[in-house]
Structure 1
Amino acid sequence: MVNESQSPREEEEKRLLVVLEQVSRRMRKETAVLGERRGDVVGIRQEFWEDVRMNFSDSSEVAETWTSIVQQAEVLAERERSHRVASEAVERLTKQFDSPYFARIDFAEDGREAETIYIGRASLLGEDGETFYVYDWRAPVSSLFYDHEPGPAAYRVPNGEIDGEMTLKRQFVIRGGQMKHMFDTSETVGDEILQAVLSEGSDTSMKSIVATIQKEQNFIIRDERHKLLVVQGAAGSGKTSAALQRIAYLLYRHRETLTANQIILFSPNPVFKGYISHVLPDLGEANMRQMTFRELIEARLGRRFEVEDLFAQTETLAAIDGTAEGDARERSVKYKGSDHFFMTVANYLKRLEQGGVSFRTLRYRDMTIASAEEIAERFYAIEASDGFATRAANVKRWLLERIKAWIESQMNEKWLEEAAELVDQEDIQRAYVDVRRSGGFHDEVFDDEDQMSQRLKRKVAEDAIAPIAKAVRSYRFIDAVATYTALFESRPLFASCSPDGKLPQGWEWMSLRAEETLGRKRIDHEDATPLMYLSEALEGFRRVEGDIQHVFVDEAQDYSPFQAAFLRRRYPRARMTVLGDFNQAIYVQSQESGGFGGWTRLMAPEVTAALRLTTSYRSTEQIVEFTKGILAPEDAVHISPFHRIGELPMLIPCEDAGRLSERMTADVTELLGRGYGTIGVITKTASESGDAAALLKERLSGDVPLTLVTGGSAELPKGVSVLPAYLAKGIEFDAVLVWDASSERYGKEKDRKLLYTVCTRALHILHVYYTGEASPWLPRSGG
């Protein structure tokens, strides 16, 4: 019975002790198991060969020895699995002892009494195997907490919906096994909890948000009806956090059929990859596969070509901005990322079914093994209806046979005999073993020597031709670069493939540029995705990853329509979740794509959902209102601040870069002294970052940690980080100091969203410094 003299707080603290005792008991048991398993593993490893019966006297003994080794290895593997399971259990229970749950709901199903349900990061089952002390936040019943306030409520289960009434909704902040805060709330997630969490300092890695998930985020996390989910969210609205919780939910919901390796997340840069890498392990799940689009390009093209990445392209465009070359390159970047160009390349591929694919001649020294003309004849002798995949695979098999025949044709050639005479002792010993295994070295001495000679020559020939055979197996007999370049060498060809029969503005410049760069094995970033698409199509998309069930794309507004369509083609069976903010479209390739580069057109409308997150939780109300003022009014209308009060942003005029660095040095020192652990000094370009870091390092005391963050950085350090705008995407800092937001640096219309992106990285403090005139996009209401 409930003791009426106890307050709700006292009752909850008493109940917390009961749960902690359960966790403690489980931890003692699992720790004991872990110790046993560790001892078993160490013992088996130490005694592995002692317990294996070794005998190689005849074939039956060899088989028995092999069986003994396999059995011992299986025992070791089983003990290692048990050790890993026990270790994971101890780790999970350690986290539960720190904070076993964060919410309580009392819910009465229609016609039944109310049941009390506590919700945490992981479930906790009693020793009887039936009592649930804590429900996992991903369990169906837990959605009540995120979606409803007290009153009529319902939650979905696999076979329908359960209706009832929520009679109580309570939230907790528990740290170190101690109840710090407790609130009863009538909102989906109470403002008090959000205030407490959002007021905390930033860290060098993203945190889990399971205790503060909002209703609209919960829909994103649990939606399984749609194959394509497109989320437009204001800066700081929790897009990425919701995506990571969605991954955790999917792994929990489909744990029998889905693994982390079947989920891939495309991140905007390596820094962001490290920033979010702790969220899923914190929830007890393995990390999904994670990569940047740049890494995808590098894996496909980077071994044979010098490939420009998006950041280098951005720096180049900034350096030639306002010149005739800059204007021409910008037009090319926009066009080659467009839907129009994707359709042009798709139409070109249809034409290539009948003819026009370029091939490479297979040649060793001055000897032709198969000419480009022969390969083309073989390729196009196969019916077009069979598709590129069948044609390419057939030609590959034919070429490998051709290589074998060529080796045989060279067996009596002088060059091969001379090369065979120069082989080392190890190759001679291998040839000896091969002849002996084949029954040689008996009476026919001369025949044995001849066999040795033949095997040595064949080995030399195979080694010589091995790079060509490897290239054939990788389909490099198809010259994708020449085939792609051909599209820009003929006006009539391009116009015939164009969906409207027209050439793009600046086509002549693009033609000369393709000849210049591709001819020197250099690939501009805007050519990389079209070239990958053409290359993989000609090979029959043999590299598509059909085992991937879910693709997540963060900062989706930065992808061109061409890149979006390519990803859809590369992962044909996957459901897609794409998240972004069209107010942060900072790259030229996507600035005219309507925000999401055609993502919503990738799948049929009936399986597509487009959602909007409008509340910005990251920054204080003062910072959100300030950054809204940077945008055009029509772009800012859907952004609402969460009511967290803080300091006004500051606009700080400076005479020159020297004075700017002096003022910023003083502010950095003061902010660190006030306890702000992460400070981002954000510049427009990478070269500017280098200059800013040098100036600040010169003036700051030696004990202040300052890091220049580059495109190759994988982790965000504590202290002061100096980085260019495009590396700050998706990351947040306690304080952001914007380096030289002058009219000269951020004066053009295309700079407006870049400046907005930079300023929205701030949680608590925003200082904007400038020399000369301030950017026209900056509101004049700063402090």
Structure 2
Amino acid sequence: MQNESITPREEEEMRLLVVLEQVGKRMRKELALLGDRREDVVGFRQEFWDDVRMNFSDSTEVGETWSSIMQQVELLAERERSHKVASEAVERLTKQFDSPYFARIDFAEQGSGPEVIYIGRSSLVGEDGDTFYVYDWRAPISSLFYDHEPGPAAYRIPDGEMKGELLLKRQFVIRGGQLKHMFDTSETVGDEILQAVLSEGSDTSMKSIVATIQKEQNGIIRDEKHKLLVVQGAAGSGKTSAALQRVAYLLYRFRETLGPDQIILFSPNPVFKGYISRVLPDLGEANMRQMTFRELIEARLGRRYEVEDLFAQTEALAAAEGTPEGEARERSVRYKGSEHFFITVERYLKRLEQEGVRFRPLRFRAMTIASAAEISEQFYGIRASDGFGTRAATVRRWLLERIRQWVDSQIGEAWVEEAAELVDGEDIQRAYVDVRRRGGFHDEAFDDEEQMGERLRRRVAEDAVAPLVKAVKSYRFIDAVAIYRELFESRSLFASCSPDGKLPQGWEWMLQRIEDTIGRKTMDHEDATPLMYISEAMEGFRKVEGDIQYVFVDEAQDYSPFQAAYLRRRYPRARLTVLGDFNQAIYVQSQESGGFGGWTRLMSPEVTSVLRLTTSYRSTEEIVEYTKGILAPEDAASITPFHRSGESPIVVACDDGGRLGERIALDIEEMLGRGYGTIGVITKTAHETGNAVALLKERLPDEVPVTLITGGAAELPKGVSVLPSYLAKGIEFDAVLVWDASEARYGKEKDRKLLYTVCTRALHVLRIYYTGEVSSWLPRQGG
């Protein structure tokens, strides 16, 4: 009778204690193991060299010494591995003790009784190996929690579908091992839980959302059917979070065949990379590879050219706005990012299979080892059907052999003799070792000195041509820049490769621009991707990491169609997940590309899925409704706010820049006083950030940290961050203060989406300041 009086909450609290006791047992066991292994490893390191026999008196002793070292290294590595495993287990159990699970479902399979399932960030299994106290959120049965409300339900298993009835769906908020909140829900995820999570302050890094995943997000996370997944999501709809949970799911689902180094995520900027870096470790997974598209360009072209980045391009276009030069540059940016230009380059590459590849001659000082004509003859002497990669690799081997033969021919030349006379003692010692290794320096040998002299001369010659060998191995004999320039230098060639037989508007300006920039060893951002594509195609995409199985692209609406097609070629075997919001397409290269710049056309419709996330969870309802008013009505129609109330956005008129800085400084102090931990002061361009920081530091107390965020920044600090609009993408702040949203700054059509992007960074507070006339894109209500 006593048990009947126990409330559901008391029952859950008792159950929580049982689970925490299990976690505690495992914790004590792992800590003891960790302590033993730590002492073991430290002691082993101290004794390492005592146990190794060091003897280099002859080759036999050297071999035994090497064998002894390797045995000790392998033993140490094994012990350190077990130490790492124990450390990771303790870390995981510590998180489980804080919050072991967040949901419960009661599910009855057809023909069976109900089973009680608790769901958490990671599984917890009893010592018997059979009792599941907590199921991992990625387990197949856990999808019932995200996809269904009580009633008939089913979940996928590897060989089909398991049907039954969902009897109960309950959510928890557990912090510090204590049950704070508990809700029975009939919706996907209870509004109360979402309210609690979304009302929390922003952190300087993104949080895991496994407790609040919605049904539509769960579909993205668990999709295994499609090779191309395109996600259009409103600002704050959780698309990036869903992508990261998808990475965690894939690593769990295919843990036998997929590792984090086989997944790559392209982030919009270094700040964002740091911002999301904690999500996967919080879920118990190692981070996948992360890079920006800029880093890809730098790795390929940065050693030879000073390559403009996307942010510098944006600043340059803003500075030249309204001038003939600025208009010509903008046309060039739009065209070189287009599908039309990609097809033109593809057709140009087809022609190059037969003729026209430009090569650099191989020269040493004034001597020619292999002329450009000879290299071309070798290249085109190989069947075109073998492909660029095979032909280039064959020529590479031929050139390396040509260099070796040339070195042989130079051993007796005067320049080698002179250089050999200047070698230092270390080179002489190397020559001595080489000769001795070949069996020299016996009493009966009369030519040992001659052997040493020849070896010295050969080493001198080989060292002299070492840079040439390195260049050949890196395929530098292919002149990709000359090949690219040739396309623009010949009007008839360009027209014949163009899909419509026409030259683009401003073609002559583009030609002159290429001549000017490349002549100065600089490169415009819009030329970098086409040049990379030509270069890598000529080499057969030899550097492509073929083991990459999944590629994720965030802020995909900012990539040009050319860049999208290039990534598809670079990772031909990978499945693609691209996420973005065409209402936040802020860069010239992608503004006219029709939403996702050609992403949806990369693969056939049968293997492509286009999904939409329309509910905005980041901002309060007032902020979402206000920012919808910035967009064109047809673009805003599908955006739905989550029901979380807050204060209305405020628009503040200021007499001049000084007064604007003064008012923002006062409001920053107010925000800090209200407990907001992250405040973003967002300017339109990087040029304005320096002025903003100076004005704010003048007016704020010294103890208030004001940080200027630049394109090279890797993490977001607490306190006040001042940053340009394009670095705010994907990031959120408790309060956003928009610096000078005047008609002069945000008055053009192309500024509309930029202003929308800036304002939608706000979680709780949005304040907009301006001088002169306010931007006509801002709704007339709101302060």
Both structures adopt the same fold (TM-score exceeding 0.5):
yes
The answer as to 2:534 corresponding to 1:534 is: yes
Question: For residue 254 of structure 1, what is the amino acid of its counterpart?
Answer: F
- What residue is the counterpart of 2:548 in the other structure? 548
- Secondary structure (helix, strand or coil) at the match of 1:167 reads strand
Q: State the match for 2:12 in structure 1.
A: 12
Aligned partner of 1:333 in structure 2 is: 333
SS in 1 for 2:721: strand
* CA-based RMSD: 1.2
1:84 partnered with 2:84: yes
What is the alpha-carbon distance in structure 1 between the residues aligned to residue 652 and residue 528 of structure 2? 41
Q: Which residue of the partner structure matches residue 69 of structure 2?
A: 69
Amino acid at match of 1:681: V
Q: Give the drift of 1:447.
A: 2.3
1:483 corresponds to which residue? 483
1:164-183 aligned within 5 A: 164-183=164-183
What is the DSSP-based 3-state SS (H/G/I as helix, E as strand, rest coil) of the residue aligned with 1:42? helix
Aligned position for 2:155: 155
2:628 matched residue in structure 1: 628
The equivalent of 2:3 in structure 1 is: 3
Letter in 2 for 1:143: S
> Residue 16 of structure 1: CA displacement?
0.6
Q: Secondary structure at the match of 1:304?
A: coil
CA distance in structure 1 between the partners assigned to 2:657 and 2:82 by the alignment: 61
Measured at CA, do residues 364 and 444 of structure 1 come closer, stay the same or move farther in structure 2, by a change above 3 Å? Answer: farther
Partner residue of 1:242?
242
Q: AA paired with 1:296?
A: L
CA distance in 2, matches of 1:132, 1:173: 20
Within 5 A, what are the aligned runs for 1:197-276? 197-276=197-276
SS at structure 2 position matched to 1:487: helix
Tell me how far apart the structure 2 counterparts of residues 410 and 51 of structure 1 sit (CA, whole Å). Answer: 49
* Bigger mean CA deviation after superposition, 503-512 or 577-586: 503-512
- 2:456 aligns with 456
Aligned amino acid, residue 78 of structure 1? E
Distance 1:61 1:375, change over 3 A: closer
Partner of 1:606: 606
Which residues in structure 2 correspond to 1:318-357 (within 5 Å)?
318-357=318-357
| Cα distance in 2 for residues equivalent to 1:754 and 1:442 | 80
Q: Percent identity?
A: 81
The range that moved more, 541-550 or 49-58, is 49-58
Secondary structure, aligned partner of 1:211: helix
| 1:714-725 equivalent positions in 2, closer than 5 A | 714-725=714-725
- CA deviations on 1:495-524 (whole Å, 9 max, x unpaired) are 000011111111111111111112222111
Q: Supply the AA of the counterpart residue of 2:631.
A: L
Tell me which residue corresponds to 1:592: 592
How many Å apart are 1:658 and its aligned residue?
0.2
Q: How does 1:36-75 map to 2 (within 5 A)?
A: 36-54=36-54, 62-75=62-75
1:2 to partner: Cα distance: 8.4
What's the CA shift string for 1:160-193, capped at 9, x where partnerless? 1111111111100000011111111110100000
Offset at 1:614? 0.1
- In the TM superposition, residue 411 of structure 1 has moved relative to its aligned partner by 1.5
Q: Residues 658 and 203 (structure 1 numbering): CA distance in 2 closer, same or farther, change over 3 Å?
A: same
Distance 2:604 2:2 in 1: 55
Determine if the alignment matches structure 1 residue 35 to structure 2 residue 55: no
Cα offset, 1:76, TM superposition: 1.5
Counterpart in 1 of 2:307? Answer: 307
Counterpart in the other structure of 1:432: 432
**Matched ranges for 1:630-645 at <5 A:** 630-645=630-645
SS in 1 for 2:768: strand
Change (3 A) 1:495 1:444: farther
Matched, 1:361 2:361: yes
- 5+ residue gaps, structure 1: none
- For residues 427 and 52 of structure 1, the distance between their equivalents in structure 2, rounded to whole angstroms, comes to 30
Between 1:391-400 and 1:61-70, the stretch displaced more is 61-70
- Find the counterpart in structure 1 of residue 771 from structure 2: 771
Matching residue's letter, 2:236? G
Pairwise CA distance, 1:62: 4.6
Q: 1:568-717 residue pairs with structure 2 within 5 A?
A: 568-717=568-717
Distance apart, 1:47 and its partner CA: 1.3
Q: Kindly provide the CA deviation profile for residues 171-224 of structure 1, in whole angstroms up to 9, marking residues without a partner as x.
A: 000000111111111101000000000000000000000000000000000000
Q: What letter is aligned with 1:515?
A: E
Deviations 1:392-432 (A, max 9, x none): 11111111111111112212221211111111111111112
**What is the rounded CA distance, in whole Å, between the counterparts of 1:283 and 1:269 in structure 2?**
23
Deviation at 1:263, TM superposition (A): 0.3
Determine the C-alpha separation between the residues in 2 that align with 1:506 and 1:222: 47
The CA deviation at 1:361 is: 1.1
Distance 1:470 1:247 in 2: 38
CA offset at residue 433 of structure 1?
1.7
Residue 65 of structure 1 deviates from its aligned partner by: 4.0
Which moved further from structure 2: 563-572 or 42-51?
42-51
Residue 693 of structure 1 aligns to which amino acid in structure 2? V
Tell me: CA distance 1:37–1:508, structure 2 relative to 1, closer, same or farther (3 Å). same
C-alpha displacement of 1:52: 3.4
Deviation at 1:441, TM superposition (A): 2.6
Q: Deviations over 1:652-684 (max 9, x none)?
A: 000110000000000000100000000000000
Partner letter of residue 442 of structure 1?
A: H
Q: Structure 1: which amino acid aligns with 2:740?
A: D
Deviation at 1:443, TM superposition (A): 4.7
> In structure 2, how many angstroms separate the alpha carbons of the residues matched to 1:262 and 1:201?
34
Aligned with 1:576: secondary structure?
A: strand
Q: Is it true that 1:120 corresponds to 2:159 in the alignment?
A: no
What's the CA shift for 1:71?
Answer: 2.5
Q: Cα distance, 1:67 vs. partner?
A: 3.3
Question: Distance in 1 between the 2:71 and 2:563 partners?
Answer: 50
What is the deviation of 1:592? Answer: 0.4
State the one-letter code of the partner of 2:619: S
> Which residue does 1:316 correspond to in 2?
316
Unmatched runs of 5 consecutive residues or more in structure 2? none
Deviation at 1:364, TM superposition (A): 1.1
SS, match of residue 368 in structure 1: strand
1:68 to partner: Cα distance? 3.2
SS in 1 for 2:4: coil
The aligned amino acid for 1:182 is M
Other-structure match for 1:131: 131
Structure 1 position 56, deviation (Å) = 5.5
Counterpart-to-counterpart distance in 2, 1:77 and 1:465: 40
Alpha-carbon separation, structure 2, partners of 1:231 and 1:557: 10
Secondary structure of 2:489's match? Answer: coil
Cα offset for 1:88?
0.6
Q: Deviations over 1:284-320 (max 9, x none)?
A: 0000000000000000000111101101000000000
* 1: CA distance, partners of 2:51 / 2:445: 46
Report the secondary structure of 1:702's partner residue. coil
Structure 2 distance, partners of 1:328, 1:617, is 41
5 Å-filtered alignment, 1:513-524, equals 513-524=513-524
For residue 212 of structure 2, give the secondary structure of its aligned residue in structure 1: coil
Q: State the Cα distance separating 1:58 from its structure 2 match.
A: 5.8
Q: Which amino acid aligns with 1:290?
A: Q
1:191 aligned partner? 191
Superposed displacement of residue 448, structure 1: 2.1
